[in-house]
């Protein structure tokens, strides 16, 4: 009996019928990126597009969720996706991205997977802002790009230099500082 209910439920999913209207999913995607309602309206609009969202999630402003294959993205309960993240589940064909329960993705992150690959962000994992994720992340892991490092001193500002070579000639290497340890 449960199987029959499940088949009927999937058969009448709104995203199935909305796909018939040309450009309608693109309009929903644009609306989900710019309208308010991180806990309410944005997840609702992404569900209409076909993104599999389970439970209550928070989706920040200007989040791009797989425009061409929204059904390949699955987001579980308690997930937080910060502002201006890009989640792309296709590179030369559809892949699959699963963001498990309680995961958090920092602002400006890019999550991308290859065709035929399943990329999983584990339960409770935290990805720091500005990171690029192209491989699965284990549960309860804190990960991100290395912190910024100063490489040199600029003597000719980039906008003032007429060529890149002039800008490079104006760079001075940073000397290591001797730190006094107490």
- Measured distance CA(31)–CA(149) in Å, rounded: 38
User: Strand order in 52-53's β-sheet?
Assistant: 52-53, 73-75, 96-99, 118-121
Is pLDDT at 90 greater than 70 in this prediction?
yes
pLDDT at 6: 47
The DSSP letter of residue 7 is H
Contact 119, 96 (CB under 8 A): yes
User: Poorest-confidence range of 12-21, 92-101, 128-137?
Assistant: 12-21
pLDDT at 148: 62
CA 33 to mean position of chain CA atoms: 12
Is pLDDT at 89 greater than 50 in this prediction?
yes
Q: Is the pTM of this model over 0.95?
A: no
Question: Taking CA 85 as the corner, what is the angle to CA 158 and CA 71, rounded to the nearest 5 degrees?
Answer: 140
78 pLDDT tier (thresholds 50, 70, 90): very high
End-to-end CA distance of the chain: 72
User: Across all residues in the chain, what is the average pLDDT?
Assistant: 84
The third-level CATH classification (topology) of the domain covering 2-143 is UDP N-Acetylglucosamine Acyltransferase; domain 1 (2.160.10)
Contact 84, 61 (CB under 8 A): yes
The DSSP letter of residue 137 is B
Map out the domains of the chain as residue ranges.
2-143
User: Poorest-confidence range of 99-108, 148-157, 173-182?
Assistant: 173-182
Q: Give the percent of the chain with pLDDT over 90.
A: 51
Q: What are the Cα distances from residue 164, in Å, to 15, 154, 169?
A: 50, 13, 9
Which phi and psi (to 5°) does residue 90 adopt?
Answer: -160, 135
pLDDT at 13: 55
For 20-58, the pLDDT digits (tens) are 556 777 888 888 888 999 999 999 999 998 999 999 999
For 50-64, the pLDDT digits (tens) are 999 999 999 999 999
């Amino acid at each position: 009996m449960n199987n029959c209910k499940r088949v009927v439920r999937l058969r009448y999913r709104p995203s199935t019928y909305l796909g018939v209207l040309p450009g309608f999913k693109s309009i929903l995607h644009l609306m989900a990126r710019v309208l308010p309602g991180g806990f309410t309206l944005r997840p609702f609009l992404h569900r209409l597009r076909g993104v599999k969202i389970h439970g209550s999630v928070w989706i920040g402003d200007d989040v791009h969720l797989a425009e061409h294959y929204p059904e390949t993205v699955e987001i579980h309960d308690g997930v937080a996706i910060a502002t201006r993240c890009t989640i792309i589940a296709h590179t030369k064909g559809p892949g699959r991205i699963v963001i498990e329960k309680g995961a958090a993705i920092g602002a400006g992150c890019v999550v991308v997977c290859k065709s035929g690959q399943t990329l999983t962000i584990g339960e409770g994992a935290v990805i720091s802002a500005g990171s690029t994720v192209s491989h699965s992340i284990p549960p309860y892991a804190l990960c991100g790009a290395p912190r910024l490092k100063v490489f040199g001193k600029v003597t000719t500002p980039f906008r003032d230099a007429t060529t890149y070579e002039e800008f490079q000639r104006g760079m001075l290497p940073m000397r290591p500082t001797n730190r006094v340890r107490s």
